[in-house]
Amino acid sequence: MSAAAEHDLPGLDLEALDAFLRREGVEVRGALRARLLSGGKSNLTFDVRDDASHWVLRRPPTAGLTPSAHDMAREFRVTRGLYETAVPVARAVALCEDDAVMGAPFAVTEYVSGPVVRMKQDLEAFGDAELDGVVDELVRVLAELHAVDYAACGLGEFGRPDGYVTRQVALWAKQWERVKADDLPDIDRLHMLLAESIPQQSASSIVHGDYRIDNTILDGDGSVAAVVDWELSTLGDPLTDVALMCVYRDPALDLVLGEPAAWTSERLPSPDDLAERYSRASGRTLDNWQFYLGLAHFKMAVIAMGIDHRYRAGATVGSGFDTAGSAVPEFAARGLAALRSVSS
């Protein structure tokens, strides 16, 4: 049976998807149906199902792309490599790298059932002790990720871990030039201070690049059923993951996401507490921590500007994109404060 007609989901052609899945040997039973799960602050994410199976499809936004993000092959490869490890991920199903099929590359994985805690109101389902246990579980899974033997799971060529932090500073500076609306002196100063104070890399591991509660799917007992949204993953310095997880606790994240994010809730541990929990769970020391916080704030400022750039270009699907630009100066200022505190 052919795919059902779909007119309300820009970026998704169900007839083309139906044909692609069949060519890949994926059994399709009945008409494909879909709904938008995420309007693409980063990628577009769709819930796709037929009469027997249930999948998730991710593809880049329809315009306003940045060079290093939206890498479908990267997401597919890392989830396939991690599937047999202690890190819970969805099973990889199919990858399409041919833009002719649907206008952009896309990846299909199995659907993992469970709650995704996105907004503050979602936390109401948890008592305080239960929520604290969820946080410990999130930190434990991140430590497990950083402990994975990436060569043993086929990811030895997934990135270049040596010099990762140096490249990150340069990369996000280049992306700023690509998406900025106007010059912002604080961004220039933050970039300069980061470039002048790059420390020796703490270690080499798989890094997720976007780790927080809403990039996981939880089981009913509060454990992590799957870590999702791997578009920024690579081999690099694990402390960049930890610092970004902590910086995401900043209330300015609400502006970036366009909603009252669960991860900014006052019910959750402070950034310092999160960092300490990770240090205990992983056995790693947090050397040069203020640098990593400064870099995480720099990255968040550029990400927020990128969302605003796509919003201004009319390349977003859904709502909640109009406030991201106002978060840029806040993250830039706090990144400067983190770096300046080293010499104060």
CATH number of the domain residue 286 falls in: 3.90.1200.10
* Same domain (yes/no): 62, 129: no
Contact between 78 and 155 (Cβ < 8 Å): yes
- Domain end, chosen from 45, 80, 110, is at 110
* Same domain (yes/no): 276, 157: yes
Q: Model pTM?
A: 0.89
Give the tens place of pLDDT for each residue, 252-269: 999 999 999 999 999 999
Radius of gyration (C-alpha) of the chain in whole angstroms = 20
- Domain end, chosen from 110, 134, 151, is at 110
Mean pLDDT of 28-40: 86
Report yes or no on 297 lying in a domain.
yes
Report yes or no on 211 lying in a domain.
yes
In which domain, by residue range, is 247 found? 120-340
* Same domain (yes/no): 199, 71: no
Report yes or no on 4 lying in a domain.
no
* Same domain (yes/no): 106, 165: no
Report yes or no on 326 lying in a domain.
yes
Contact between 81 and 154 (Cβ < 8 Å): yes
pLDDT at 312: 83
* Phi, psi torsion values for 5, nearest 5 degrees: -65, 145
Residue with tokens 């454990």: 223
**Confidence grade of residue 68 (pLDDT, cut at 50, 70, 90):** very low
Judged by DSSP in three states, 80 sits in helix
Count of structural domains, the chain: 2
* Same domain (yes/no): 85, 134: no
Mean pLDDT of 49-72: 77
Average pLDDT, the chain: 91
**Confidence grade of residue 85 (pLDDT, cut at 50, 70, 90):** very high
Report yes or no on 187 lying in a domain.
yes
Instruction: Please check the confidence at residue 90 and state whether its pLDDT lies above 90.
Output: yes
Give the tens place of pLDDT for each residue, 238-247: 999 999 999 9
* Same domain (yes/no): 187, 41: no
Report yes or no on 6 lying in a domain.
no
Least confident of 73-77, 195-199, 261-265, 272-276: 73-77
Mean pLDDT of 154-169: 95
* Same domain (yes/no): 170, 292: yes
Task: Measure the CA–CA gap between 91 and 187, rounded to whole angstroms.
Answer: 39
DSSP summary character for residue 212 = S
* Same domain (yes/no): 197, 303: yes
- Read off the CATH number of the domain in which 94 is found: 3.30.200.20
* Same domain (yes/no): 222, 287: yes
Count of CB atoms within 10 A of residue 344's CB?
5
Instruction: Please check the confidence at residue 174 and state whether its pLDDT lies above 90.
Output: yes
Mean pLDDT of 56-70: 67
Listed in sequence order, the residues at least 6 apart from 107 whose beta carbon sits closer than 8 Å to its beta carbon are: 57, 58, 59, 72, 73, 75, 76, 92, 94, 95, 96
Report yes or no on 55 lying in a domain.
yes
Task: Measure the CA–CA gap between 179 and 310, rounded to whole angstroms.
Answer: 9
pLDDT at 37: 85
- Domain end, chosen from 110, 134, 167, is at 110
Report yes or no on 34 lying in a domain.
yes
Listed in sequence order, the residues at least 6 apart from 232 whose beta carbon sits closer than 8 Å to its beta carbon are: 68, 69, 208, 209, 210
* Same domain (yes/no): 255, 159: yes
* Same domain (yes/no): 265, 334: yes
Measured CA to CA in angstroms, residue 71 lies from 11, 190, 196, 216 at distances of: 16, 27, 30, 19
Task: Measure the CA–CA gap between 177 and 311, rounded to whole angstroms.
Answer: 17
